């Protein structure tokens, strides 16, 4: 068993590995974000992280930097080294060949192709392995990948911005701007990290958004619009962007073929999916998104889409901005009716975190 001093050292290096992993946020899908640090004689001799899907894994990049100094060293890694051939060779074998003496890992890989086999290979080669250090931080790092690889469906985050009395617009429909500048900038960071952002046709018609990422060197996610009756206007900004193939209109099988053809001529993608209660069925949509490698989805509104997603239990995480403003009872509610008649049936949130984003309050929680 590691001493308290050794455990503190392990945690320090694992947290550094987590910070390295986050440098590739939004660039590794459908692979997980992973960071690695190699330490020998109390000094860091190698650092690495998985930069992009198909590229060298974190431990390989760290080994390359460490060179001969990897022999007899300790590897700190956020996720169990892989033991199988994918687009790259097994990392466990590379660690053995390099002469790594100890491996301290954040957690076991949830991928069924690995799931402990990497640790087994290392132990068979005489490498001491410890796992579970900073496990909660490492698990949060790959929460989207964990769901995707085990359930074959994307991790869904619902983001809403409301006044303190829970309104997302005034009685006239005006909603710009509820949240402050810092909160809006944070949403662009999330768009940069997420694989897809999703809104309903009501939001498109009311706000005419672009749903792009507006930060330097940012990456545009897929833009998904729920539009069961194809009400989207041909002049909508979403249909006129430089990367039209990243705009996906999810509609139902009863949508007019002529309008589908007109949209497809603009370069956007139209998916005709099964309906449930007249709306695009969530399971079919999420399976379709998973099929194109979408690991994470950010739902940005509006109230009807938020309610539908919650009713159908497809939301994993909530990000709720509350601005220091009050609109009153004639404003638009942040979430449409959920049909909950008793407080005992209210949706219970877990692992709730309270923070600040400029003047706004930010509540993060899981369902």
pTM, full prediction: 0.91
Q: What is the pLDDT of residue 226?
A: 96
347/363 Cα distance (integer angstroms): 15
CA distances 1 to 42, 73, 201, Å, are 19, 19, 56
Q: Are 105 and 79 in contact (CB under 8 A)?
A: yes
Query: How does residue 6 score in pLDDT terms, banded at 50, 70 and 90?
Result: confident
Residue 315 pLDDT exceeds 80? yes
Which tokens sit at 12? 């320090």
Q: What is the pLDDT of residue 2?
A: 66
Q: What is the pLDDT of residue 217?
A: 84
Considering only CA atoms, which of 23, 29, 326, 47 is closest in space to residue 196?
Answer: 29
Residue-wise pLDDT for 98-111, tens only, equals 999 999 999 999 98
List residues bridging with 36 in a β-sheet: 48, 77
Considering only CA atoms, which of 39, 45, 31, 32 is closest in space to residue 14?
Answer: 39
Residue-wise pLDDT for 281-291, tens only, equals 999 999 999 99
Residue 366 pLDDT exceeds 70? yes
What is the arithmetic mean of pLDDT over 255-272? 95
Query: How does residue 348 score in pLDDT terms, banded at 50, 70 and 90?
Result: very high
Which of 60-64, 112-116, 183-187 is the least confident region?
112-116
Considering the chain, what is the average pLDDT of its residues?
93
Q: What is the pLDDT of residue 174?
A: 84
77/234 Cα distance (integer angstroms): 49
**Active-site hit among 6, 59, 128, 137:** 59
Concatenate the DSSP letters of all residues of 97-115 into one string.
HHT--EEEES----STTTT
Report CA Rg, the chain: 23
Query: How does residue 87 score in pLDDT terms, banded at 50, 70 and 90?
Result: low
Considering only CA atoms, which of 61, 78, 131 is closest in space to residue 102?
Answer: 131
Which tokens sit at 21? 């992993």
Residue-wise pLDDT for 131-168, tens only, equals 999 999 999 999 999 999 999 999 999 999 999 999 99
Q: What is the pLDDT of residue 5?
A: 81
Residue-wise pLDDT for 171-220, tens only, equals 988 888 899 999 999 999 999 999 999 999 999 998 899 999 999 888 99
Q: Is the dihedral of CA 292, 297, 303, 305 positive or negative?
A: positive
Q: Is the dihedral of CA 29, 31, 35, 40 positive or negative?
A: negative
Which tokens sit at 276? 């449930």
Residue 85 pLDDT exceeds 70? no
First vs last C-alpha separation in the chain? 35
What is the arithmetic mean of pLDDT over 76-88? 83
Concatenate the DSSP letters of all residues of 200-263 into one string.
EHHHHHHH-------STT--PPEEEEE-TT----TT-GGGSSS-GGGEEEEEETTS-HHHHHHH
Residue-wise pLDDT for 14-24, tens only, equals 999 999 999 99
Q: What is the DSSP letter of 315?
A: -
Long-range contacts of 40-43 (CB under 8 A, 24+ apart): 40/66, 40/69, 40/70, 40/72, 40/73, 40/74
Strand 269-273 and strand 317-323: the pairing is unpaired
Q: What is the pLDDT of residue 4?
A: 78
Q: What is the pLDDT of residue 158?
A: 98
Q: What is the pLDDT of residue 89?
A: 76
Q: Are 208 and 236 in contact (CB under 8 A)?
A: yes
**Is 59 marked active-site?**
yes
Which tokens sit at 339? 């049909």
314/306 Cα distance (integer angstroms): 10
Residue 95 pLDDT exceeds 90? yes
Q: What is the pLDDT of residue 113?
A: 77
């Amino acid at each position: 068993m590691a001493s308290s001093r050794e455990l503190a050292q392990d945690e320090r290096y694992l947290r550094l590995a987590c910070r390295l992993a986050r440098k590739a946020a939004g660039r590794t899908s459908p692979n997980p974000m992973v960071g690695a640090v190699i330490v020998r004689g109390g000094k860091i001799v190698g650092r690495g992280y998985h930069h992009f899907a198909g590229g060298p894994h974190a431990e390989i990049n760290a080994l390359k930097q460490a060179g001969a100094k990897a022999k007899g060293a300790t590897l700190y890694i956020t996720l169990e080294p892989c033991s199988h051939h994918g687009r790259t060779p097994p990392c466990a074998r590379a660690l053995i060949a390099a002469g790594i003496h100890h491996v301290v890992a954040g957690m076991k890989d949830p991928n069924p192709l690995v799931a402990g086999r990497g640790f087994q290979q290392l132990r068979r080669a005489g490498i001491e392995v410890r796992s579970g250090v900073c496990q909660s931080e490492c698990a949060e790092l790959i929460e989207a990948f964990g769901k995707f690889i085990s359930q074959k469906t994307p991790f869904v985050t619902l983001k809403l911005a409301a006044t303190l009395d829970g309104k997302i617009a005034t009685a006239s429909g005006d909603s710009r701007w509820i949240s402050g500048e810092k909160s809006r900038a944070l949403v662009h960071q999330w768009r940069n990290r997420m694989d897809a952002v999703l809104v309903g046709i009501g939001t498109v018609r009311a706000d005419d958004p672009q749903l792009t990422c507006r930060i330097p060197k940012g990456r545009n996610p897929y833009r998904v619009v729920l539009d069961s009756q194809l009400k989207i206007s041909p002049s909508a900004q979403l249909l006129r962007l430089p990367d039209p193939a990243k705009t996906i209109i999810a509609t139902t099988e009863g949508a007019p073929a002529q309008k589908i053809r007109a949209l497809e001529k603009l370069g956007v993608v139209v998916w005709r999916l099964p309906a449930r209660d007249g709306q695009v069925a969530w399971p079919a949509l999420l399976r379709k998104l998973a099929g194109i490698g979408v690991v994470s989805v950010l739902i940005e509104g509006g109230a009807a889409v938020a309610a539908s997603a919650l009713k159908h239990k497809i939301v994993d995480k909530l990000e709720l901005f509350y601005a220091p403003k009050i609109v009153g009872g004639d404003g638009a509610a942040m979430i449409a009716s959920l049909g909950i008649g008793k407080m005992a049936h209210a949706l219970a949130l877990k692992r709730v975190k309270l923070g600040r984003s400029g003047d706004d309050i930010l509540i993060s929680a899981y369902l």
